[in-house]
Structure 1
Amino acid sequence: MSKLNISPRQKFILEILCRQNCWVKGQEIAVELGVSVRTIRNDIQQLNTEIGVDPPLILSSKRDGYIISNREKALELLKQAEASQDTLPIYPDERANFILKRLLFEKTEINIYDLADELMVSDCTIESDLVKVKKIIEETPCDLSLKRNSDNIFLEGTEESKRNLLSQLLFEEAGNNFLNISKYDSYFEDFNMSVIQDIVLSAIKKNDLVINEIGLLNLVIHIAIALRRIKNNYIIEDSPCLESFLNTNEYKLAKDIAQGLSEKFGINFPQQEILYIGYMILGKRILKSKYSSFHYLENVIETKYIDITQKLITSIYNNFGINFSEDEDLLVGLAMHIKAMDSRIKNSITLRNPILDELKHRYPFIFELAVYLSNEFYKLTNIQMNENEIGFFAPHLGAAFERLNQKTALKKKVVLICTENLKDILSFKIKTEFGNKLELIDVLSIIEYDKAKNMELDFIISTADLQSHFDMPVIFISPFLDNKDIQEINKQLNFFEIAMNVRAVVSRIDCAIVEELFFSDLDIDDSFNVIKFMANNLYEKSYVPPTYLDSVIERESLSSTSFGNMVALPHALVMNAYRTAISVAILKKPIEWGDYKVQLVFMFAINESDVKNLQSLYKYLMQILDDPYAVSRLIKAKKFDEFKGIILDYYTVT
């Protein structure tokens, strides 16, 4: 087939079916793409006609829905479609973001009928998308509002709010690739992103400063947005400036950056735009490069920030038994972060955290430490951190936890099996990504795979599906080692870590999940009342003190405990249960819980004697709750013994 002529929506249908790799009902696909079941049926018929293979690539069943008949062929076609297609937004949320970006980037007003034609959807669908646009704006801390003038729409609000919202949308769209600066080039065709980054880094180096990756990217994105807006004569509003700010390193750096940008792009920066860059810098973690150790830190940062940081580190040890007291990198990083955060809060600067959802999902225990610290920080300072700021705490803690584990952890032994032309690049990527966790024993070509059978290995990484040839696990990766591959390897590493203590963990879970705390077909339609019902039951059965419910609600207010895959894990901030227990509720129907739909709820009540086991408990359960098939089985389980059996048997079955 020379060219695959399919629509963007049809491409997404293929992706959904490849991702699930099992029967999927048309209604499920329709809901995900925001169209009718009839549209899905027509699209699949057209897809099969266009692809023209026998049997059809997509098989259909009135009872079961749709399934891919040849996954390898489907993946090949998807790559072809990806290379030859400028994809329009398909999902309702994507269309809403597209409309918002158009309003923020291009012009003050947009005709809704022109939008419908461009996006190849009906006028009715556009009206529905505008409801989502309004919701996005309402949920964003800004003064923007969507206005309508007959058949035209426009945004009303301050220039600063428009730029902040645009930055947020770009980060969200980039997803896990947010640190790849080239991902943003298409939005700034007149201003090469790498050139902007070089100008910023040059100014930072000139001033003997350093900046972390996320802070740099945030700054570069905001500057690129400012350049494009200034070019279109949208200037930031005048804001009062303290005379003292003009003498700061942040303002000096902002002037140097503005000068470099003006020389390169021929755009004049008014004083208020230089101040805007200065205030953005104030909110980033930028510090004198020579002050990266605790000895010098005392000379450049107020004592109060060091004292707060030391108290937070002590509180982690007192409540979780994790000793970070000798980790100088954590003390320096956290103290500088708290100083920068204090500046952001005082100057009303909101910093978007592009990896918040990933942190909550992939590193629940580390994120829980961050939530705990945010509450301790509030007790010490009376400053309430938002969810984005809590997320910025997590990488500091995660890195410290990793350093602590590396002192005793043994690397897993692996072999890479791939084609000759991929050996160098893939082995380099694996060593870069997993150098502290994996020992790459050898790199074999696919025809040499038999050699691996005589090696002492923990598992194999391969670009060919060789699982049937080995008794040990084989991680099947793409030739590019993408984010999905990295997650699969991390999942295997987590599996090994859990398996080492699986008997002990399973025993604790066996004791914690009991029939008197199990509820199936629970008919409650909002998260607050689910929490209230489960917490009150724990109290009535003498598992928790009377303050437990308030503590769970307080924890939920800091950051939602739902994380996707239909699951929520509510729990108290304080580990003071009379005895450790896990209450379980299977809801009669999914409900809104934070940003996700939830139907399966695990409520943790942890006694202080079990705090030391919390991480292994989280890891074990998250391995199960991250598996869509396992979650589906758990939700369908009506009997307690069946439900508990699925959990306890998980590691003997998978």
Structure 2
Amino acid sequence: MALNKRQERIIAMMNDANEWITGKELSKLLNVSDRTIRSDMDAINRYYDENLIESNLRYGYHLNTEVFRTLDIELAEPIPQTPHERCVYIIQELLFEKNELNITSLQDKVFVSEYSIDNDIKRIKKMIEPYPQLKLVRSKNFIHLEGAEESKRKLYKDLLAEETQGNFLNLNNLAALYKDFDLLLIKDILEQTLDKHNYHVREMAFPMLMIHVGIAIERIIRRNYIQTDRKNEELKQSQEYKIAEEFFHSVAKKIRIEIVDDEVALLALLLMGKKGTNYTKDLVSMSHSMSSDEIVEGMLEIIHNDFDIDFCQDSDLKIGLKMHMQSLMERQMKHVEVSNVYLQEIKRKYPLVFEMGVRVARYLEEQLGEEINENEIGFLSLHLGSAFERANLSGKYRVVMIYPHDQALSNMCVRKVETRFGERMGIVECLNFFEEKAILRIKPDLILTTLPLKHDLDITTIQISLFVNLEDESRIFQALNLLDKKRFQKEFQEGIKGMIDPKFFYTDLEAASSEDVINFMCDNLYEAGYTPKDFKESVLKRESMSPTSFTYSFAVPHSFDVLSKKSNISVAVLKKPIPWGAFDVKLVILLAINEEDRYMLKMFFDWLSNAVSDANRFATLLESKDYNDFINRIVE
């Protein structure tokens, strides 16, 4: 006799939860009696003739994952279990799947009463209050979302940011998914191997690398090997191959796995990143009219068009997707299907990320003429979710929270901090105690602790209360402002030093007019190949419109519309002040900036606006004796 719908839901729910659940909790979720739950558990185990559901008088029920993996069970969609999860689910359905939802059908899907759905509708209305153009409308037994497309996309992106919020690639969370080995131990082995070879992997790329490593080891343990045609003698001579080989040998000593040449080759190619494409043919273009580069660009365009999320500048994502396309084509050609230990985790906890994966998979099916299964969608979602998290955290300060084990109070503390300061910082990890090794691995900009803490690391540390009062907020605010100042100073120092070349720095320059100075400085840049021929003409044209001189005896001439070939800030300290517009000028700063470095202009003018508000500080620049003296004074 087949399982009924409720029993299928029980298996799905227990797989989602991945922990012990009491019969009382299940009975409330499914709106049935404890006795019915006991009967369902017996029926499930009899149906599969296996002890799929384990029971314990104290803890309740638990899904036996070992047995689950051996059974061919097709799970229903993950069930949103908390009110917030249901609200996000409903919004997602209204945004992407259906124009309107039938409330009765919705109750059956999420296993809650009409009363619960009514409360969810109230919560959603509250959630969309910051979007005045959006309105949740109920008409009899249906609900739909009204409003501008732009507002709907903004709502989606904000929910997506809340969904990931620094936890999407949290290695501690990911490690819990592996039952047969310790992913954090594997991470330590990889880091030690990389250090031994003095090989650097970018911090933001490391979590995705560990995801691939975890999947590879899981495959090896289960003897679900993948064969690749991309290994060759040239690849085997590379440093990356030697690192990958040594890494797997070190892992084998700890958890007794086989050394699989194909997995070594795949890890070596991953370490290589973009360089890895030099070792292999483009498997996409070999069987299709498009190249893998064109396919990846199409994927990013779909994301941009459908979700208004621009990943076009994310080189890590482009490389990752291109490498994934190669592996995908290899699997499709060999008719190999791989399991994805992360699939249910993504579908359950990150449905909006998974939605992006689904859209990209549809595009791939159209272009490749191949069916993309859920496991593959899960892999694509990992790449996209990681890219979104990188984009969402870029520019934010990385913060570690240290608090005791009182989970309820601690969660409240974290939420208050994120609500108040989420736009400026991201909590990348929460710890119950301070451990120097862990902190050095995370490399945070700031530590927030609810416990008294002293350490020798050069990391700003603020003690706050679990209740985050106004005094705590003030301390955090001041710490972030100080970090802003340090960040600006560091970026400005690095940028300005690279832009001001000693050979275009002049002291005691003699000139009779502003035109003399501009001619001299522009001619030198042109002769050195820094600027095009019409650059000087554009600078003079800009001056004729309105002189670029300011009080405190300086001028900042720049091109009207002609970009330089190579960015440079040319500086002249004049021997004697000369008339320049309404002021006498002694310091001339000529800006010659190309397209790539336009961001430096804003940084320079930010510095300038601060400098001119301090007459004494600016006056010291006019006393600069040489290039080094000027640089030291400008970055003070």
Tell me whether the two structures share a fold, i.e. TM-score over 0.5.
Answer: no
Q: What TM-score do you get using the length of structure 2 for normalisation?
A: 0.35
Structure with higher Rg: it is 2
